[in-house]
Amino acid sequence: MHIVNKAPTSKGPAENFTGDVWRESIAAPQTDGQHMVVALVRFAPCARTAWHSHANGQTLHVVSGVALMQSRGGEVLEVHPGQTVYTPPGEEHWHGATPNDFMEHYAMLDMSDDPATSTTWLEHVTDEEYSRR
């Protein structure tokens, strides 16, 4: 057993996010064969991800605020603290904060053997797509 030093909080890059988003790494692979990654992600009001998908799916657990989440072609979901959402492998989706409140969630996924293929980033969510509720 050992303590894993905290990685610095990092700002989400503008090519993948609209608005201010901050990511704090919670867990990452420690040995060969491990693939789990967990991050605490904080979204400012109106901030959101771009459309994206994950090769091995993703689990999101809302900690505070209210999250907005949508799969391509689906309805926008309001997800409250304590609720968990699973997005299957390859499903295009986005998630973010409501217009009036900050939101935090844990993002959990299994990385691919090639980490560069774990997440496929697509186009930004438009203001019109974001406001559909």
Mean pLDDT, to the nearest integer, of 3-22?
A: 96
- In tens, the pLDDT along 72-123 reads 999 999 999 999 999 999 999 999 999 999 999 999 999 988 888 899 999 9
Q: How far apart are the first and last CA of the chain?
A: 46
- Would the pLDDT of 133 be above 80? no
- Which domains are assigned to the chain? 20-131 (2.60.120.10)
Q: Can you read off the two tokens belonging to residue 34?
A: 């491990």
Please write the tens of the pLDDT for every residue from 29-87: 889 888 999 999 999 999 999 999 999 999 999 999 999 999 999 999 999 999 999 99
* Token code pair at residue 26: 């919670």
- Which residue(s) pair with 120 in the sheet? 53
Count CA atoms within 13 Å of residue 34 on its CB side.
9
